Amino acid sequence: MEILSERISKMSESATIKMAQLGRELKAKGKDIINLSLGEPDFDTPEHIKQAGIKAINEGYTHYSPVPGYLELRKAICEKLKRDNGLTYTPEQIVVSTGAKQSLINVVLSMVNPGDEVIVPSPFWVSYAAMVQLADATMVNIPTSVETDFKFTAAQLEKAITPKTRMIIYSSPCNPSGAVFSKSDLESYAKVLEKHPNVFVVSDEIYEYITYSGKHESIAQFDAIKEQVVVVNGFSKGFAMTGWRLGYIAAPLWVAKACDKMQGQFTSGTCSVAQKAGEVAISSDLTPTFKMRDAFRKRRDLIISLLKEVPGFRVNVPPGAFYAFPDVSVYFGKTYDGDLIKDSDDMAMFLLKVGNISTVGGKSFGDDNCIRLSYACSEDTIRKAVQNIKNALAQLS
């Protein structure tokens, strides 16, 4: 007899992982599936970082590491934050985890109580909702749209805050929309949050190095609210180190200590070899990272120009990350072979089965009008994918 906890029974499966798995299953059956569902750079980890991992193995870094991470790596992260973001932290305020996903859940479970409210502007990364649910808290949504470039306003933030509000979580650059919050955007949010010292900000900056115009800005730069801010970052996107599983937080000391305590009971210190590779990655010349960013920019320009040619799609130009998030709601209510497309999930499934394109419906990201397409793939793949989308949509009635 299968008896599962209420917690896991209520939890939704990750939509991105689900669609990628369905795509792989169809591919195994011989279908030529183009995978635009997973947010993973198609580049290999730069050679100097791989060599650092090999060197770490040869030097015996194969034992348990300290729960918050090696001191050398935490020092390197502090230097990076100063160098790139003008932020001052001590190594004691850094906790290194098994990917930024663990960093995020450490923070949520350490700070949020049952009954608290957590503001999550939409569209949002799918796991934010699950993390809030795991904490037995209530997610409060701030809606945005393609017309506003998927950015929320300070007025919307002010309106969403209640006496129960504990936290706001957002990403910039944003997964799935590619939205990037400017310094003036963040300053307007900071002015609101300054009036609410019991509301904390979790700023997910994992796509920091994949920003196409201007410099990356962090809300932690505003001294009046710095003690309310937890910065989350990692190595997977900017350094093509997805499989190394390496993320971190920079936080007020009491938050860092809480996350250290939480992590000590879940995983303890993350992979020793990955940490030594990460130390080299974050301290070295960023030329390989910027070359990847420039390739992503070319692909962004290509996919957006092609998607604008798809009848009915409403598309903006995302200034960061490597996703397009077109509004496809014009096709809701249409049918294929008797099947009705009611929402974004139906659209994603239709494109998978008829167009051989693996995408992700926007419903799981908090915006049911859109679908997410990752352009972390070759330009030829992008061209073929959009043509397949056009061909499939032409079959709707």
Please calculate the CA angle 379-382-384 and round it to the nearest 5 degrees. Answer: 110
Is the same domain home to 28 and 120? Answer: no
- Of 260, 283, 306, at which residue does a domain stop? 283
Structural domain total, the chain:
2
In a domain, 1, yes or no: no
What is the pLDDT at residue 75? Answer: 98
In this predicted structure, the answer to whether residue 8 has a pLDDT above a threshold of 90 is no
Q: What's the rounded mean pLDDT across residues 253-279?
A: 97
Is the same domain home to 137 and 279? Answer: yes
CA distances from 188 to 17, 148, 168, 184, 206 (A): 35, 16, 14, 6, 22
What CATH number corresponds to the domain at position 273?
Answer: 3.40.640.10
In a domain, 56, yes or no: no
Is the same domain home to 277 and 298? Answer: no
In whole angstroms, what is the distance from residue 320 CA to residue 208 CA?
Answer: 8
What is the pLDDT at residue 26? Answer: 66
Is the same domain home to 356 and 227? Answer: no
Whole-structure pTM value: 0.94
Residue pLDDT, tens place only, 340-396:
999 999 999 999 999 999 999 999 999 999 999 999 999 999 999 999 999 999 999
ω before 173 within 30° of 0 (cis)?
yes
Residue pLDDT, tens place only, 47-66:
999 999 999 999 999 999 99
- Of 251, 266, 283, at which residue does a domain stop? 283
Is the same domain home to 183 and 85? Answer: yes
What is the pLDDT at residue 281? Answer: 98
Is the same domain home to 68 and 199? Answer: yes
Q: What's the rounded mean pLDDT across residues 91-110?
A: 98
In a domain, 55, yes or no: no
What DSSP letter does each residue of 150-188 carry, written as one string?
A: T---HHHHHHH--TTEEEEEEESS-TTT-----HHHHHH
Could you tell me which residues come within 8 angstroms of residue 373 by beta carbon, excluding any fewer than 6 positions away? 36, 303, 307, 323, 324, 325, 326, 359, 385
CA distances from 181 to 149, 204, 397 (A): 10, 12, 39
Residue pLDDT, tens place only, 223-249:
999 999 999 999 999 999 999 999 999
Q: What is the mean pLDDT of the chain?
A: 95
In a domain, 82, yes or no: yes
Residue pLDDT, tens place only, 283-310:
999 999 999 999 999 999 999 999 999 9
Is the same domain home to 172 and 239? Answer: yes
In this predicted structure, the answer to whether residue 45 has a pLDDT above a threshold of 70 is yes
In this predicted structure, the answer to whether residue 14 has a pLDDT above a threshold of 80 is no
Is the same domain home to 183 and 157? Answer: yes
What is the pLDDT at residue 15? Answer: 67
What is the pLDDT at residue 316? Answer: 96
What CATH number corresponds to the domain at position 348?
Answer: 3.90.1150.10
- With bands split at pLDDT 50, 70 and 90, how would you rate the model's confidence at 37? confident
Q: Tokens standing for 319? A: 């200034």
In this predicted structure, the answer to whether residue 19 has a pLDDT above a threshold of 80 is no
What is the pLDDT at residue 290? Answer: 96
Residue pLDDT, tens place only, 115-157:
999 999 999 999 999 999 999 999 999 999 999 999 999 999 9
- Of 283, 311, 334, at which residue does a domain stop? 283
What is the pLDDT at residue 20? Answer: 72
Host domain of residue 101: 61-283
Is the same domain home to 296 and 191? Answer: no
Is the same domain home to 195 and 343? Answer: no
From 117, 183, 170, 105, select the one nearest 144 (Cα to Cα): 170
What is the pLDDT at residue 12? Answer: 76
In this predicted structure, the answer to whether residue 27 has a pLDDT above a threshold of 80 is no
One-letter amino acid for residue 189 of the chain: Y
Is the same domain home to 224 and 322? Answer: no
In this predicted structure, the answer to whether residue 16 has a pLDDT above a threshold of 80 is no
